[in-house]
Each structure stands twice: as structure tokens, then as C-alpha cells.
Amino acid sequence: METKSSPFISFVGASSGTWQVLSVKAIKGETLPTVKAIQVLKGQEPIYLDVHEWVLKAFISNLRYTERSEKAALDASSIPLGNPSHTMAALIPIKKTKDWWAMTQEERRAIFETKSQHIAKSMPYLPYVSRQLHHCRDLGEAFDFLTWFEFSPEHVDKFESLLKILRETEEWDFVEREVEIRLEKQ
């Protein structure tokens, strides 16, 4: 696969790649075609599109809702991606409803943290589950966000609990499409 410079991160669903696909499950709305593996390309553009089943493109951006005191707590709890013991991962693309995007900043923040406690409820799991949010709505992609999680095999239960807690929040009422792709490092 030839590459050229790009500000984007591409998740390439293909027949081979660093992350082997264990399962692809539609949580809400349409699923994605099942693939054997996912290759994550950072700052590179996938060229030979014919060898891929699909490509999800996104970017990492500045914080949109987090406040200073929350950032301090998150930074203290979080572990960066790429931990060698974290051989399990999940890619969960999400699309939120038109109602979500029609809201103003303080209305979205109220659902995100005041009502759903997205940050507060996630906090206990961050020492076990590394996370990265990728944005793609502004690229005209099918999803709004590509969420990415890494964890070790002995902490799969922590990841399951985190998922369950987030999906029970009011924020998740605004999710109209969600696909859960579970992965294992090859």
C-alpha cells in the first residue's frame, strides 16, 4: 500500500492488518461489512482502494466539552495508547442524531456531562482502558465519531462495564448508528 502525507487517521477494513477482527456487531442502525483485519494508518493516505472493503477516515481534535478540573483528573487516570499488554481493542464508529447537532454548545454539554456524566462515569475505567476519540462528521463521512479503545485480555470485563454504562446514559439516546468491532493484535 503506497502512502502520501495526510492530516487524517484511516481505519482500513481489509484482508490483513495489525488488528485481527474478532467480531463486527451492529448495535444500532446499519452494520459495516465484515472484514478480516483492520489497519490503522496515521498521517498517511490509503492509495489502492481496491484491496480494501472500507476506509473510515477521521482526525483527532481539540477538547470540545471537557473542563479544566476534569482534564486534570482525566490526565491523571488515563494511560496512553500503545501499551504492550493491551493486545485487545475495539473500534466503535458512532453517528449521532440531527437533534444532537441542532443543539447549542451548553445544551450538548448539559447532556454530555451534567445529565449523562460521561467523564465522571468513565473515570474508574481509564486505568485499564486506553481511549482515543476521532472526529469525522466534518469530513462528510458516514459516522460522526470513531471511538477507539485498547485493553489487556484480563481487563475485558472493565471494558464491557464501561460500554454498558455509557450506553445507558441519556447521551446515548442521541446515537442513531453504532457498530462495535472487536479486535485482537496479531
Binding interface with its own copies (CB under 8 A): 6-7, 59, 61-68, 70-71, 101, 104-107, 109, 135, 137-140
Nearest to 92 by CA among 155, 3, 8, 162: 162
Residue 93 Cβ vs its own copies, minimum distance, rounded to whole Å: 17
Residue 145 Cβ vs its own copies, minimum distance, rounded to whole Å: 13
Closer to its own copies by Cβ: residue 80 or 140: 140
Closer to its own copies by Cβ: residue 17 or 93: 93
- Record the cell numbers describing residue 71, joined without a space: 482534564
Buried b (16+ CB within 10 A) or exposed e, 128-157: bbbbeebbbeeeebebbbbbbbbbbeebee
Residue 100 Cβ vs its own copies, minimum distance, rounded to whole Å: 9
Residue 142 Cβ vs its own copies, minimum distance, rounded to whole Å: 12
Closer to its own copies by Cβ: residue 131 or 182: 131
End-to-end alpha carbon distance in the chain: 19
Question: From the CA atom positions of the chain, what is the Rg in Å?
Answer: 16
Closer to its own copies by Cβ: residue 4 or 164: 4
Residue 72 Cβ vs its own copies, minimum distance, rounded to whole Å: 10
- Record the cell numbers describing residue 104, joined without a space: 447549542
Closer to its own copies by Cβ: residue 81 or 110: 110
Q: Would you give the distance in Å from CA 26 to the centre of its chain?
A: 14
- Record the cell numbers describing residue 11, joined without a space: 481505519
**How many whole angstroms separate alpha carbon 155 and alpha carbon 13?**
25
